[in-house]
A = this chain, B = another copy of it.
Amino acid sequence: MCESDGGLVVARTPQFRVIRVVDGDEARRFPAFYRLIWNAHVAEFSDLPDTDRHACMDAVTEIERVLRSLLAPTKINLAALGNVVPHLHWHVIARFEWDSHFPAPVWAAPQRDEVAGGAAARLAQPLAAVDAAIAQALSCRC
């Protein structure tokens, strides 16, 4: 995945970077949509040595904790798919009962109209505050 990774970089460490998806339908429908991208070029989670795997999921868990703490989502969704881009990355998505697709996965058909004007306005905190909390949780300079 390229340097920009299609999003805003909110954290960067020697092992991985974290972006927030800011473009397109996904960002408008699911504003608290983060992606942890492993720096080394591996395709599958099991390609990582155990210590890296644990570090990777520890970071995913930190992102999840920040989202739960600041946004109180109905549910967190975690996924490592990579069918289109087979470079290890984890989707960490805050889902809300009012979002356009809930309870369906974000990749499925919508269940209702999108929030007029974008869903970000319904979040309990500005996304910049969430970005900053994630960066702090991962103790990095970006």
Q: For the complex, would chain A's binding face be called helix, strand, loop or mixed by DSSP majority? A: mixed
Copies held by the complex:
2
Decide: B105 and A81 in contact? CB cutoff 8 A. yes
Say whether A76 faces chain B, with CB atoms less than 8 Å apart.
yes
Which parts of A41-58 form the interface with B (CB within 8 Å)? Answer: 43-46, 50, 53-54, 57-58
- Given known contacts A103-B83, A109-B109, is B68 in contact with A61 (CB within 8 Å)? no
Decide: A61 and B53 in contact? CB cutoff 8 A. yes
**How far does the alpha carbon of A78 sit from the alpha carbon of B43 in the complex, in Å?**
12
Decide: A75 and B82 in contact? CB cutoff 8 A. yes
Q: In the assembled complex, how far is the CB of residue A87 from the closest CB belonging to chain B, in whole angstroms?
A: 11
Say whether A79 faces chain B, with CB atoms less than 8 Å apart.
yes
Say whether A84 faces chain B, with CB atoms less than 8 Å apart.
yes
